[in-house]
């Protein structure tokens, strides 16, 4: 996975966001470097901040922490043993006394041993103590999603499990500029945040990332392209496939599509979704995680509740199949350009 | 307890075993000597050489993108997989993590099925669905092949209980790494096993690193064989196949009578952690070279055979060449095997009675099955 996909992506996805500063000094950075830069800024400005996880001392498996230990010291950037439940619990304790805590789970697939701590402890600390304690300074990062050949345990997209838990926020960036702004906002947010990074884009997504400290607000979706015939909703790596399908659909079907990057799964930006669907009357939602119980179901329900009389066609979901993430069938499994295009076509022709 | 090898084997040679460390068990009970014949040693050597070729070839095939998924090689650690199996039977359950090619071979999965699985082909031992990390052999009590570090340990306690419950004269071999010895699940399993005196052998393959992290940075207690306290533990030289065989033979007997026992096998992995790790950023090349030179498990058996005048260097070289050729031939054949049918994406998710709809991009090519 070190030599990530080298395909060309358009500037739409990896361009800037309205909330990011423009016309300021910037450096060409991959998503990985951009995330590393956001952590570096945090460690520099916030002297309480710590970064830790498995193999972090030598940079972590993807080398996100490369150089940070040397720069900020081994008391602040350190290895944990191989024990996700322990990592999460430890992070919660650290955060409960107000320390800015950035914990890495090596792959999102390995967050499940930590599931209990995250869902039962982190998410409910504030509520059950009547607001006396909270773990607002906690951020858990994990690389998620397909990586071309990751098979069952290096590919999963667990966002829906966490979005289902009140008290947690779930954020997924699509490009280097967003990764930095969203990560800084997530670290500083007063709630525990899960930050899932599309690892397929770690090295292949490149952008001129502003050098300065900036935040992209959580809970705010971004309209990447305005359109009038159909709304396409996605996040993270999925947008790469959606964009390709969109370009093809606009050309072949002579339609105009509106593409929305949710950026934050929870809390969800309902307004942006509702306004868009009211305008277009048609909607397609895509994600890599399995369809059944997937996050698209929640979005669809919100649309149904709020836009029923505006809908011209059933809400269409294009998702991973309801199977474990496969080894040799990866290309068949995830919602690629072709499946999304077919989805757009059937929704338009309904 | 030396029942098995106290018999005088015709033409057997005596070997004294390297020093061990013990915890909560009288060291005098643990074998200090082994006997072995030329035939036995030749068999061990053949198996270890085969595993080594399998791994070296897998490395190559991965780099050529014939093997996808994540792939972890066990060259350097062959004596554990081979020695252990010389002491137990296929009725004894075995469960391990993802570094499982050697175990798969020793549990009787044929090389063609192993390569086919590595390639994700239909004739693979898991129908091409598991790949490198997921070998299984139901008839030979091999429960995998697990991706989640530590998960296999708790499952292993269940396997051990099942054997006891069914009054089988067998044990569960529960394999994990030094890095995995930090996972909480292992201690949940170990406690259950001790509490209920389950016939379990907890086997720690200590290759000194968990991915890029040396064991000193990951475990406060470096005596890993003591980590099952109060279960007894033994630390052995995992590069000495006879030490492995004798200790496991003893441990099986012990576990059946008394309950769980831990065996820490000191070993070394030659390759990086997985194929994306060159393995030299966190350890010095000298360290790898030194481990190879001083402790190679294959070389050790070769030396014994030559020392005891049972084989010549040339004979052993020739044997190695033949193995190399055979393994390569099998791998090449497996490359030509067909891919699994597309429907296999959907099968084996649930048990029988479930209908699957496979929506092809072209609707007319969709199927219900
Ligand atoms: C729960 C979980 N966390 C992390 C990983 C990633 N990972 C795979 S192997 C490994 C290191 C394991 O080291 P060790 O137990 O010593 O076994 P070895 O690889 O040396 O055989 C890590 C961190 C994983 N597979 N599962
Ligand atoms: Mg290890």
What was the pLDDT predicted at B3? 47
Mean pLDDT for B249-268 is 98
- Cβ contacts of B184 on chain A, cutoff 8 Å: 83, 85-86, 113
Which range has the worst mean pLDDT, A147-151, B36-40, B181-185? A147-151
What was the pLDDT predicted at B366? 82
Among chain B residues, the shortest Cα distance to A83 is held by B183
Residue A255: inside a domain: yes
Q: How close, in Å, is residue A150 to chain B by CA atoms?
A: 5
* CATH label of the domain that carries residue B173: 3.40.50.970
CA–CA separation, B162 and A254 (whole Å)? 64
**Cβ proximity of B96 and B144 under 8 Å:** yes
Residue A215: inside a domain: no
Tokens 């899932």 locate to A196
pLDDT in tens, chain A (350 residues): 333 444 455 689 999 999 999 999 999 999 999 999 999 999 999 999 999 999 999 999 999 999 999 999 999 999 999 999 999 999 999 999 999 999 999 999 999 999 999 999 999 999 999 999 999 999 999 999 999 999 999 999 999 999 999 999 999 999 999 999 999 999 999 999 999 999 999 999 999 999 999 999 999 999 999 999 999 999 999 999 999 999 999 999 999 999 999 999 999 999 999 999 999 999 999 999 999 999 999 999 999 999 999 999 999 999 999 999 999 999 999 999 999 999 999 999 99
Q: Print burial letters for A227-263: b (CB count within 10 Å at least 16), e (below 16).
A: bebbbbbbbbbbbbbbbbbbbbbbeebebebbbbbbb
Are A153 and A174 found together in one domain? Answer: yes
Among chain A residues, the shortest Cα distance to B209 is held by A55
Pocket probe mutation, ligand 1, options B100, B210, B224, B270, max atoms within 8 Å of Cβ: B210
Quick check: B42 pLDDT over 50? yes
Starting from the CA of residue B271, give the closest ligand: 1
Q: How close, in Å, is residue B70 to chain A by CA atoms?
A: 6
Atom of ligand 1 nearest to the CA of B183: 1
CA–CA separation, A284 and B65 (whole Å)? 35
- Cβ contacts of B217 on chain A, cutoff 8 Å: 57, 79
Residue A217: inside a domain: no
Are A179 and A303 found together in one domain? Answer: no
Which residue range forms the structural domain that includes residue B334?
A: 5-340
Whether residues A110 and B149 touch (CB distance < 8 A) is answered with yes
**Cβ proximity of B145 and B133 under 8 Å:** yes
What was the pLDDT predicted at A8? 54
Residue B345: inside a domain: no
What was the pLDDT predicted at B361? 65
pLDDT in tens, B161-177: 999 999 999 999 999 99
Listed in sequence order, the residues at least 6 apart from A55 whose beta carbon sits closer than 8 Å to its beta carbon are: A61, A79, A106, B211, B212, B213
Residue B211: inside a domain: yes
- Cβ contacts of A202 on chain B, cutoff 8 Å: none
Pocket probe mutation, ligand 1, options B273, B277, B291, max atoms within 8 Å of Cβ: B273
What was the pLDDT predicted at A235? 98
Residue B349: inside a domain: no
Are A176 and A80 found together in one domain? Answer: yes
What was the pLDDT predicted at B360? 72
What was the pLDDT predicted at B178? 98
* CATH label of the domain that carries residue A268: 3.40.50.920
Q: Is B162 in the pocket of ligand 1 (CB under 6 A)?
A: no
Q: Is B156 in the pocket of ligand 1 (CB under 6 A)?
A: no
Domain final residue, candidates A210, A236, A256: A210
Mean pLDDT for B309-338 is 98
Looking at chain B, the whole-number percentage of residues with pLDDT higher than 90 is 90
pLDDT in tens, B269-289: 999 999 989 888 899 999 999
Whether residues B349 and A323 touch (CB distance < 8 A) is answered with yes
Tokens 């194929």 locate to B275
Are A113 and A243 found together in one domain? Answer: no
**Cβ proximity of A172 and A288 under 8 Å:** no
- Of B70, B277, B342, which has the smallest distance from its Cβ to A151's Cβ? B70
Burial of A25 (0-12, 13-18, 19+ CB in 10 A): exposed
Residue B101: inside a domain: yes
Are A230 and A181 found together in one domain? Answer: no
Quick check: B2 pLDDT over 80? no
Q: Is A54 in the pocket of ligand 1 (CB under 6 A)?
A: yes
* CATH label of the domain that carries residue A77: 3.40.50.970
Which pLDDT band holds residue B126 (cuts at 50, 70, 90)?
very high
What was the pLDDT predicted at A221? 98
Domain final residue, candidates A150, A178, A210: A210
CA–CA separation, B240 and B80 (whole Å)? 8
Are A283 and A151 found together in one domain? Answer: no
Mean pLDDT for B126-135 is 97
CA–CA separation, A234 and A250 (whole Å)? 18
Q: Which of B235, B323, B281 is nearest to B57 (CA)?
A: B323
Q: Which of A273, A316, A93 is nearest to B359 (CA)?
A: A316
β-sheet with B93-95: strand ranges across: B21-23, B233-237, B261-266, B200-206, B172-177, B93-95
Tokens 């072709």 locate to A338
Q: Which of B27, B75, B155, B14 is nearest to B327 (CA)?
A: B75
Quick check: B4 pLDDT over 80? no
Are A101 and A243 found together in one domain? Answer: no
Domain final residue, candidates A210, A245, A267: A210
Residue B127: inside a domain: yes
Which residue range forms the structural domain that includes residue A152?
A: 2-210
Q: Which of A153, A181, A162, A230 is nearest to A20 (CA)?
A: A181
Residue B205: inside a domain: yes
3-state SS assignment for residue A222: strand
What was the pLDDT predicted at A9? 58
Are A181 and A143 found together in one domain? Answer: yes
Whether residues B345 and A338 touch (CB distance < 8 A) is answered with no
Whether residues B149 and A82 touch (CB distance < 8 A) is answered with yes
What was the pLDDT predicted at B359? 72
Which range has the worst mean pLDDT, A174-188, B2-16, B37-51? B2-16
**A265 phi and psi angles, rounded to 5 deg:** -85, -40
Are A189 and A77 found together in one domain? Answer: yes
Q: How many domains does chain A have?
A: 2
Starting from the CA of residue A53, give the closest ligand: 1
Residue B348: inside a domain: no
Whether residues A338 and B361 touch (CB distance < 8 A) is answered with yes
Mean pLDDT for B315-338 is 98
Name the CA radius of gyration of chain B, rounded. Answer: 21
Listed in sequence order, the residues at least 6 apart from B284 whose beta carbon sits closer than 8 Å to its beta carbon are: none
Q: Which residues surround ligand 2, an ion (CB under 5 A)?
A: B 177-179, 207, 210
Residue A185: inside a domain: yes
Are A172 and A46 found together in one domain? Answer: yes
Q: How many CB atoms lie within 10 A of CB B21?
A: 14
Residue A323: inside a domain: yes
Question: What's the gap in Å between B181 CA and the centre of ligand 2?
Answer: 9
Listed in sequence order, the residues at least 6 apart from B282 whose beta carbon sits closer than 8 Å to its beta carbon are: A58, B209, B212, B213, B214
Are A196 and A162 found together in one domain? Answer: yes
Q: How many CB atoms lie within 10 A of CB A322?
A: 15
Residue B358: inside a domain: no
Are A188 and A248 found together in one domain? Answer: no
Q: Is B177 in the pocket of ligand 1 (CB under 6 A)?
A: yes
Q: How many domains does chain B have?
A: 1
Size of interface A-B (CB pairs under 8 A): 108
Q: How close, in Å, is residue B261 to chain A by CA atoms?
A: 23
Residue A135: inside a domain: yes
């Amino acid at each position: 996975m070190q030599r990530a996909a080298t395909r060309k992506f358009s500037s739409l996805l990896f361009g800037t966001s309205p909330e990011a500063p423009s016309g300021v000094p910037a450096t060409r950075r991959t998503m990985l470097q951009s995330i590393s830069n956001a952590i570096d800024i945090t460690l520099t400005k916030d002297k309480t901040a710590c970064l830790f996880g498995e193999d972090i001392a030598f940079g972590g498996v993807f080398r996100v922490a490369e150089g940070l230990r040397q720069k900020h010291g081994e008391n602040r950037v350190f290895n944990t043993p191989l024990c996700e439940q322990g990592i999460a619990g430890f992070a919660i304790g650290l955060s409960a006394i107000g320390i800015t805590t950035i914990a890495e789970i090596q792959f999102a697939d390995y967050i499940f041993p930590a599931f209990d701590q995250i869902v039962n402890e982190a998410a409910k600390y504030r509520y059950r103590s009547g607001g006396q304690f909270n773990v607002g300074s906690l951020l858990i990062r994990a690389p998620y999603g397909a990586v071309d050949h990751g098979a069952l345990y290096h590919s999963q997209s667990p966002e829906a499990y966490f979005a289902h838990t009140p008290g947690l926020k779930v954020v997924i960036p699509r490009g280097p500029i967003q990764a930095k702004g969203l990560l800084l906002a997530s670290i500083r947010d007063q709630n525990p945040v899960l930050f899932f990074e599309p690892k397929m884009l770690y090295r292949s997504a490149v952008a001129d990332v502003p050098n300065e400290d900036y935040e992209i607000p959580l809970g705010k979706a971004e309209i990447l392209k305005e359109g009038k015939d159909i709304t396409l909703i996605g996040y993270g790596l999925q947008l790469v496939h959606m964009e390709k399908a969109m370009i093809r659909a606009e050309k072949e079907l002579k339609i105009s599509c509106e593409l929305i990057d949710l950026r934050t799964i929870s809390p969800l930006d309902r307004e942006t979704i509702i306004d868009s669907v009211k305008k277009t009357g048609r909607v397609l939602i895509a994600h890599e995680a399995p369809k059944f119980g997937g996050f698209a179901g929640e979005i669809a329900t919100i649309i149904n509740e709020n836009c029923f009389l505006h809908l011209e066609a059933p809400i269409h979901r294009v998702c991973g199949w309801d199977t474990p993430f496969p080894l040799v069938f990866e290309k068949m499994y995830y919602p690629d350009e072709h499946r999304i295009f077919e989805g757009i076509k059937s929704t338009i022709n309904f | 307890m030396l029942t098995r090898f106290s018999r005088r084997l015709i033409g057997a040679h005596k070997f004294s075993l390297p020093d061990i460390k013990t915890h909560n068990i009288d060291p005098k009970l643990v074998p200090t000597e082994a006997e072995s014949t030329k035939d036995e040693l030749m068999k061990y050597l053949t198996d270890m050489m085969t595993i080594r070729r399998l791994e070296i070839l897998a490395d190559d095939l991965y780099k050529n993108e014939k093997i996808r998924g994540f792939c972890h090689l066990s060259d350097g650690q062959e004596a554990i997989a081979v020695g252990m199996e010389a002491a137990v039977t296929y009725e004894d359950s075995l469960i391990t993590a993802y570094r499982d090619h050697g175990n798969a071979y020793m549990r009787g999965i044929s090389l063609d099925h192993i390569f086919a699985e590595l390639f994700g082909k239909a004739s693979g031992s898991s129908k091409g669905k598991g790949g490198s990390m997921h070998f299984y052999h139901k008839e030979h009590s091999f429960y995998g092949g697990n991706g989640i570090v530590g998960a296999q340990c708790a499952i292993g306690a269940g396997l051990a209980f099942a054997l006891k419950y069914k009054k089988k004269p067998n044990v569960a071999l529960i394999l994990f790494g030094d890095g995995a010895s930090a996972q909480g699940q292992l201690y949940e399993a170990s406690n259950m096993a001790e509490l209920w005196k389950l016939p379990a052998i907890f086997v720690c393959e200590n290759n000194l690193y968990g991915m890029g992290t040396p064991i000193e940075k990951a475990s406060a207690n470096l005596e890993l064989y003591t980590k099952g306290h109060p279960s007894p533990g033994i630390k052995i030289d995992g590069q000495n196949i006879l030490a492995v065989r004798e200790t496991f033979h003893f441990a099986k007997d012990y576990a059946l009578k008394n309950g769980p026992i831990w065996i820490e096998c000191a070993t070394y992995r030659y390759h990086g952690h997985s194929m994306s790790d060159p393995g030299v950023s966190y350890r010095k090349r000298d360290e790898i070279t030194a481990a190879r030179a001083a402790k190679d498990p294959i070389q050790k058996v070769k030396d014994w055979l030559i020392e005891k005048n049972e084989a010549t260097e040339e004979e052993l070289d020739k044997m190695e060449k033949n193995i190399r050729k055979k393994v390569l031939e099998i791998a090449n054949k497996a490359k030509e095997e067909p891919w699994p049918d597309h429907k296999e994406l959907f099968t084996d998710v649930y048990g029988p009675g479930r209908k699957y709809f496979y929506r092809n991009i072209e609707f007319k090519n969709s199927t219900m099955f």
